[in-house]
Amino acid sequence: MYSFDTRIRYSECGVNKKLTLPALVNYFQDCSTFHSAGTEGSWEALMEKGMAWMILFWQIEVERYPALYEEIKIGTIPYSIQGLFGCRNFFMEDAEGRMIAKANSIWVLVDLKKQLPMNVPPEVISSYPPGKKLEMDYAGRKIVFPEKGEVCEAGELIVRQRDLDINRHVNNEQYIRFATDALEETGFGDRTHPGRLKVEYRKQAFKGDKIYPVINDRTEEGIRIFTVSLNGEDGKPYCLVEIS
């Protein structure tokens, strides 16, 4: 396990003075990067060997969103590496040690030259001593988009330089921002503070790519669920985002 302490900054808050969903995701992503620093699993060590971890799936459960200035702890627990895949839990605690958010994530190691998944080498596996999985209702990785969807009125999104990360593809968090922005622009209101989030990443998007959000709104067992398919020009999704 790895963790670090911090406090909520002005730049991470929305209009309600609480941490935004994209900022929460960035905290979790940064935590995994800090954990890997100085090991054979770090970004630098993997790049030297032509490899990189890429995320396939997020499941995030939020009890509450911390407010401006609030002190928090961010942690991560890698719990399984088998074949091509690595799995990590994440958590956010308040100053009293109460769990306020937790997550499951699934990653794949990619051969950057071949642009194909590869088995995780032993020296990389040794960088992540496994811990105990967090208790949560683990969801399946696949998100199924319902048959009917509404095309976002704002139309196409064009990937900008600001949307990219150090791997030069769209940052994981940006897809979530694209989805929540599309919901707001289509008239579904502010959906940036959901209780549950699932994200399935299908393919990489790069600078200049066009993304077309399609939205489904449904209710299951009294819970309102929004599914946003962020499609390419071919109609196939780069990413599916489910917010409930």
H, E, C per residue of 24-48: HHHHHHHHHHHHHCCCCCCHHHHHH
**What confidence tens digit (pLDDT) does each residue in 142-193 have?**
999 887 787 876 678 999 999 998 889 999 999 999 999 898 887 676 666 7
- Among 83, 122, 129, 73, smallest CA distance to 106 is for 83
CA distance 91 to 103: 6
Q: What is the mean pLDDT of residues 125-144?
A: 94
Neighbours of 47 (CB within 10 A): 13
Q: Which two tokens stand for residue 78?
A: 């890698």
With cut-offs at 50, 70 and 90, classify the pLDDT of residue 124: very high
142 inside domain? no
Q: Are residues 14 and 120 in the same domain?
A: yes
Residue 61: the pLDDT is 96
Instruction: Give dist(CA 44, CA 94) in Å, integer.
Output: 32
Residue 116 sits in the same domain as residue 171: no
Q: What integer pLDDT is reported at residue 240 of this predicted model?
A: 97
In this structure, the answer to whether residues 169 and 103 fall within a common structural domain is no
Indicate whether 119 and 155 sit together in one domain: no
Q: Which residue has the higher pLDDT, 193 or 230?
A: 230
Q: Are residues 154 and 121 in the same domain?
A: no
13 falls within a domain: yes
CA distances 55 to 70, 93, 199, Å, are 29, 23, 10
**For residue 184, what pLDDT is reported?**
86
Long-range contacts for 95-99 (Cβ within 8 Å, ≥24 apart)? Answer: 95/70, 95/71, 97/73, 99/63
Claim to verify: residue 84 and residue 160 sit in the same structural domain: no
- How distant is the alpha carbon of residue 102 from its chain centre? 12
Nearest in space to 167 (alpha carbons), one of 87, 121, 112, 116:
112
Q: How would you classify residue 135: left for phi > 0, otherwise alpha for psi between -120 and 50, otherwise beta?
A: beta
pLDDT score, position 189: 67
Judge if 120 and 216 occupy the same domain.
no
Q: Could you tell me if 11 and 105 lie in one domain? A: yes
- Rg of the chain (C-alpha set): 18
Q: Note down the domain range covering 79.
A: 2-125
Residue 136 lies in a domain: no
- Do residues 16 and 115 both lie within one domain? yes
- Whether 43 is in a domain gets the answer yes
Domain-embedded: residue 140: no
Do 88 and 48 fall within a single domain? yes
What is the tally of structural domains in the chain? 2
Cβ atoms of 55 and 167 within 8 Å: the answer is: no
Domain end position, chosen among 125, 158, 181? 125
Indicate the residue type of 68: L
Provide CB contacts within 8 A for 57, sequence distance 6+: 104, 105, 106, 141, 198, 199, 200, 201
- Dump pLDDT digits (tens) for 17-71: 999 999 999 999 999 999 999 999 999 999 999 999 999 999 999 999 999 999 9
Task: Report how far apart, in Å, the C-alpha atoms of 198 and of each of 17, 37, 74, 105, 118 are.
Answer: 24, 27, 19, 10, 25
User: Where is the domain boundary, 109, 125, 141?
Assistant: 125
| Pair 17, 92 in one domain | yes
pLDDT at 116 over 90: yes
What CATH number corresponds to the domain at position 156?
3.10.129.10
* Inside any domain, residue 134: no
AA identity, residue 37:
A
**Does residue 196 form part of some domain?**
yes
Same domain, 214 and 165: yes
In a domain, 141, yes or no: no
Give pTM, 2 decimals: 0.91
Please work out, in degrees rounded to the nearest 5, the angle formed at the alpha carbon of residue 88 by the alpha carbons of 197 and 90. 60
pLDDT in tens, 208-228: 999 999 999 888 888 889 999
